[in-house]
Amino acid sequence: MATTEKSLAASEIARETIKQIAVRRVEPTPENYTQIYFEIAGKPVKDDAANAIRKALKQLPHDTLEQTNWINRWEKLLKQDSWQGLVELLTESMQQQLNHSTKWPNALRTLLQGWDDKRGGLDASKKREMFERVLINFGDDDSLSDKLLAMANNWLPADVRAAGLPTFELPSVAQAVESADVANSVPAVTVNAVGLPDDVQQFHGAFTLLQTLLKQTLHLGLIPRLEGYPDLQSEAVALQGSAERAKKLKEWEVLAKSLKALLMRVEMIGAKEDDVRTDILQLLHLLLENIGELVTEDSWLSGQIYAVQSIISGPLDRAKLKVAEKSLKEVIYKQGLVKHSLIEARNSFKTLIGTFIDKLKYMGEASEQYSGKIEAYAQQLSQTDDLIKINELVDQLMRDTYAMQTDILRSRDDILVQQKEASGTQQRIDKLQDELTQLSEVVRIDQLTGVLNRRGMDEAFNTEIARFQRGGEPLSVALLDIDNFKLLNDQHGHAAGDSALKHLATVIKRTVRPTDIVTRMGGEEFVVLLPNTFLEEAVVTMSRLQRALTKEYFLGNNQKMLITFSAGVALFQKADDMSSILLRADQAMYLAKKTGKNRVMTEIDLRKNASI
């Protein structure tokens, strides 16, 4: 009777279970039926083998590639909903466990044998180094015994090595990376992975490469840059050691956090160093300005000072610094030769002047002696009437007069020769001074475009302003700026930008008059001084230049390119100086940019635009 009631209860539960599956609209699978059945019966759901295995797999460690690969194979087996591969997986796992229990004795036995063997060509220090490398790389790896066995077997001579062991080799990727630092490179060993998928092997290789790159970045890039900061350098060295030992994900997370904190502190130091560099450059500017005020008479030295000022005024670029250094060295060398010759010529001239003065002094002394003799002869003549005595006095007077005449003629010839030498020396001094001036002119020329640079522009402005003040002739100034120059640099590189600047300078020089002065004010901006030119004529000249520029291509990175420019033109007034007229021209140029580019605007357009 109890059995019947129990059976009825079970059948009722089964009917209710089927009803709930329909009501809940769940798939009528054995798993869902079992879960609802036990729910209605008020009993705990019993896990089947598959669910139990899935839960267990989630609790297993995933620290190594071998562990992850083993778990993935189990999960793949469960997803297939088939136990066909279970026997193979269990057999492989059992065999690996059995092999593991026998590998360590073999590995240690072979390690001792290889360590004591002297025939392999490796000394004890080399073997110790390789042994430490294996422990560092595979100390937490289940395949450590395989690695040690392969390494120790490789120490033995070929005729006594055990056959069938994993191969032992130096990975080419590790060699390529670690050859950058011989001091820190230790031979790495790899044992061919068995049973690992290709993507897992590739991931392991990429991970090893990135780990090595991180160590080399710290050792070669960061640590040397922290000289003078011992605390940060010690921290970087410690991070390098951590990068060598890190294997688990948590260790890498700690390493990444520490590295980020270190880099933030290094960034703060970099900002402070930038401030220090800026202060040093400002101090150098002041020093050069001071020296420039002291050597205003030496134009050749002023030119060199201006060259250095031009370099440190813009962004510091190593290539430009090298080019400027080479050019400045050549100028300094030539100026040194000329300066030396000039000093020698001046010393020679001083010697000639000194000799000339000595001659004059000698002539003066001789003249005084002669005058004294004349007075003595005159006194003696006044005191005697003896004709014979008078004849003797006259003979002595004639001899002294002849000697005096001879001395005067000789001194005259010497003075004429010295005068000629002095004239030649003066000409040589003038020539050498001209050479110094010409060498100084080198720093007035922009090395890239061949037109005047900012210093040359300043001097040209001073000359033209002085001419305007003397004669009142009109002077127009045009300021040109290449359109979209930054975009050209970003898309095609700085080499193309340099080609554009040279191309524009060439077209300008070919288009304007010989009396017009072309200068590069800086960057992509050019200034053209047009003497004896009114505003309307200057606009016509700039428009003609724009048309000429649009007809000519230039090569940038082996590509044909076309550029345009916007220009602002202003007319020099009595109250103007260089800054004021350049300001008006610059404002007119920006108005041309604003209204569409490739245009020419004047200060008149500025006033019209301001009144709108």
pTM of the model: 0.38
Spatial separation of the C-alpha atoms in residues 438 and 430, rounded to whole Å: 12
Task: Tell me the catalytic residues.
Answer: 524
Among candidate residues 480, 503, 508, the one with its CA nearest the CA of residue 561: 503
pLDDT in tens, 291-348: 555 545 555 555 556 666 666 665 566 665 666 666 566 666 666 666 666 676 677 6
pLDDT at residue 168, rounded to an integer: 52
Helix or strand run (H / E) with residue 71: helix 65-79
Burial (CB count within 10 angstroms: exposed 0-12, middle 13-18, buried 19+), residue 147 = buried
Assess whether pLDDT exceeds 90 at residue 118: no
User: What pLDDT, on a 0 to 100 scale, did the predictor assign at position 181?
Assistant: 41
Contact 472, 480 (CB under 8 A): no
**75 vs 195, higher pLDDT:** 75
Of the two residues 422 and 388, the one the predictor is more confident about is 388
Q: Which residues contact 28 (CB under 8 A, 6 or more apart)?
A: 21
Amino acid (one-letter) located at 592: A
Beta bridge partners of 561: 554
pLDDT of residue 3: 43
Burial of 583 (0-12, 13-18, 19+ CB in 10 A): middle
Decide if pLDDT at 568 tops 90: yes
Position 73 scores a pLDDT of 74
Rg of the chain over Cα atoms, rounded to whole angstroms, equals 49
Asked whether the predicted pLDDT for residue 187 surpasses 50, the reply is: no
Q: Is 18 helix (H, G, I), strand (E, B) or coil?
A: helix
For 53-74, the pLDDT digits (tens) are 777 777 777 666 666 777 777 7
pLDDT at 182 over 60: no
Least confident segment among 56-65, 282-291, 538-547: 282-291
Check pLDDT > 70 for residue 128.
yes
User: Given this model, what pLDDT does residue 351 score?
Assistant: 75
Up-side HSE of residue 576: CA atoms within 13 Å toward CB? 25
CA 57 to chain centre: 53
**Beta carbons within 8 Å of 514's beta carbon, 6+ residues apart:** none
What's the CA gap between 187 and 168, in Å, rounded? 11
Nearest-angstrom CA–CA distance, 76 and 495? 57
CA dist 475 and 582 (Å) reads: 12
SS3 category, 384? coil
Report the C-alpha gap between 611 and 606 in whole angstroms: 9
pLDDT of 281 reads 67
Q: How far apart are the C-alpha atoms of 321 and 311, rounded to whole Å?
A: 7
**Which residue has tokens 């082996």?**
558
pLDDT reported for residue 516:
94
pLDDT at 532: 94
Percent of residues, the chain, with pLDDT higher than 70: 70
Three-class secondary structure of residue 182 per DSSP: coil
DSSP state letter for 142: T
Question: Closest Cα to residue 520, out of 538, 545, 502?
Answer: 502
561, 554 contact by CB (below 8 A): yes
pLDDT averaged over every residue in the chain = 76
Contact 589, 574 (CB under 8 A): no
- Kindly state the average pLDDT of the residues 529-554: 93
pLDDT, tens only, 365-409: 777 777 777 778 777 777 777 778 777 777 877 887 777 778 777
Cβ neighbours of 4 (radius 10 Å): 8
